[in-house]
Chain A
């Protein structure tokens, strides 16, 4: 009897098939038209986008769109090549110079996505005799980078410097000369909590380990010039590699890693997710470059965090079990039962608010979340409308009493 390769997915399919079809399935929504960073037409209805990670609203920034259009007209729709063959245009080099200036580092490498940046850096930098120690709540791209590489992978309890230190000490006791890479995130996307980078990085440095911080959700949002949580906490000197993405605050697509390591540039030769994939299209590169310039000198993050605090405070005052604090752009309420969470999501959609339904294993501690990521482009009216619908539906479903 031949085995069906897809048999292993039967349980996943079974639970997926229990969800409603089409646009009221939380995982198959499609947008008929997009109106602005915060509004789209879905199911023929004008809908507020409440969970897009479009923190700065950069997707429709006039200067970014103009830069993209000019690059499109001058350089065409794509590079059709790897960075190391025919895929490096002047724009890619300017973008890397812009990143070096943005972070004040010696080196910057641009990848085609943030996912690939994590895959590439983690899998390449940590080799067969090395160790990678990751936070338990790390993003899938960090776990996948570990799976792709050949290092020994160890996991420490989320945001717990003592737990990390214990693991470092154990490794050092056995392996005094091994290379060690500690991987953390600036902001964890589900609940918006920040890593205590100082304590974690100091534990790492005590054991001569390198520190990588993924600032995917914090670039643009934190720090005096928008570099992220390490800048906000004044600990950039403790960080060896900063990874980030252009798919959130920067409003387009792409990933990067910046560093001061003197041999960093060799990665352009040995890092497979950099070498064996096509480079970003010129229009994307141009809009990312423009957005970085704008983010560095903007105070949109103040407006963003005010927006987030308004929603977080409103939810908390209404009596929800709020998983976030309002100190990040994330607002998430915890719903005990998964079917209630799904119904909640659908009713929000019917009322014209598109939030994220986040369920395990994407969430920590098995939580079901109704998750919003605020944007500086949200108006106060939009936030108040979201809040009003959260409360009405919460009462309707018995989540609020």
Chain B
């Protein structure tokens, strides 16, 4: 079963719910720092939930490259396809 990036994106959005305090409409371009006003610790907590949901390792090393929800969906896609 391989998931498409857009299926992954939808699942990521569901996992984002507790971090979407302002109830924004989540899009691929929604940023963590600016739009969702998450600090780096919250982003790491959120990634932990995503790791467990997809059963993958998301190294902290790639954190600086993950600015938007779309980036996360793409990263998960790459990790799953590896």
Bound complex: CA A174 to CA B80 (Å)? 11
A contact residues around B57 at 8 Å (CB): 152, 154, 167, 170-171, 174
A155 is contacted by which of B39, B44, B55, B56 (Cβ under 8 Å)? B44
Beta-carbon contact of A361 and B39 below 8 Å = yes
Contact residue among A157, A360, A361, A366 (Cβ-Cβ distance under 8 Å from B48): A157
Number of residues in A with C-beta < 8 Å to the partner? 17
A149 nearest in chain B by CB position: B61
Q: Which residues of A contact B44 (CB under 8 A)?
A: 136, 155
| Inter-subunit contact A154/B52 (CB<8 Å) | no
Give, as a whole number of angstroms, the nearest-CB distance from B66 to chain A. Answer: 14
* Residues of A with C-beta under 8 A to B60: 146, 153-155
Bound-complex Cα distance A214 to B57 (A): 25
Verify if B6 is at the interface (C-beta below 8 Å from A). Answer: no
Give chain B residues whose Cβ lies under 8 Å from the Cβ of A154: 57, 59-60
Q: Which residues of B contact A366 (CB under 8 A)?
A: 41
Does B11 sit within 8 A of A, measured CB to CB? no
Q: In the complex, which residues 174-205 of chain A have their Cβ closer than 8 Å to any Cβ of chain B?
A: 174
Any B CB within 8 A of the CB of A166: yes
A181 to chain B, nearest CB (A): 14
Query: What is the total number of residues of chain B having a CB less than 8 Å from a CB of chain A?
Result: 14
Bitwise, B52-68 to A at CB < 8 A (1) or not (0) is 10011101110000000
Q: How many Å lie between the Cα of A171 and that of B55 in the bound state?
A: 11
Considering only residues 21-67 of chain B, those with a C-beta below 8 Å from chain A are: 39-41, 44-45, 48, 51-52, 55-57, 59-61
Q: How far is the CA of A163 from the CA of B48 in the complex (A)?
A: 10
Measured CB to CB, the nearest residue on chain A to B47 is A155
- Contact: A166 with B59, CB < 8 Å? no
Contact A170/B61 with A136-B48, A155-B44, A361-B40 known, Cβ cut-off 8 Å: no
Interchain CB contact under 8 A, B56 and A170: yes
Could you tell me the distance between the alpha carbons of A154 and B48 in the complex, rounded to whole angstroms? 9
Partner of B61, one of A153, A171, A174: A153
Q: How far is the CA of A136 from the CA of B47 in the complex (A)?
A: 12
Residues in A neighbouring B59, C-beta threshold 8 A: 152-154
The 8 A CB mask of A24-36 against B (1 = contact, 0 = none) is 0000000000000
Residues A166 and B52 in contact in the complex (CB < 8 Å), given A153-B59, A153-B60: yes
Q: Which of A136, A146, A153, A360 contacts B45 (CB 8 A)?
A: A136
Chain A minimum-CB-distance residue to B56: A170
A171: chain B residues within 8 A (beta carbon) = 57
Assembled-state Cα–Cα distance A167/B51 (Å): 9
Q: How far is the CA of A155 from the CA of B57 in the complex (A)?
A: 10
Cα A153 to Cα B48 in complex, Å, equals 13
Cα–Cα distance between A260 and B27 once the two chains are bound (Å): 52
* In the complex, residue of chain A having the shortest beta-carbon distance to the beta carbon of B57: A170
Assembled-state Cα–Cα distance A156/B45 (Å): 9
Q: Which residue of B lies closest to A175 (CB)?
A: B57
Separation in Å of the B52 CB from the closest CB of chain A?
7
In the complex, 11 of the A-B residue pairs with CB atoms within 8 angstroms, ordered by the A residue number, are A152-B61, A154-B57, A155-B44, A157-B48, A163-B48, A166-B52, A170-B55, A170-B56, A361-B40, A361-B41, A366-B41
Give A residues with C-beta under 8 Å from B: 136, 146, 152-157, 163, 166-167, 170-171, 174, 360-361, 366
What 8 A-B pairs have minimum CB-CB distances, sorted nearest first? A153-B60, A152-B59, A170-B57, A361-B41, A153-B61, A153-B59, A155-B60, A154-B57
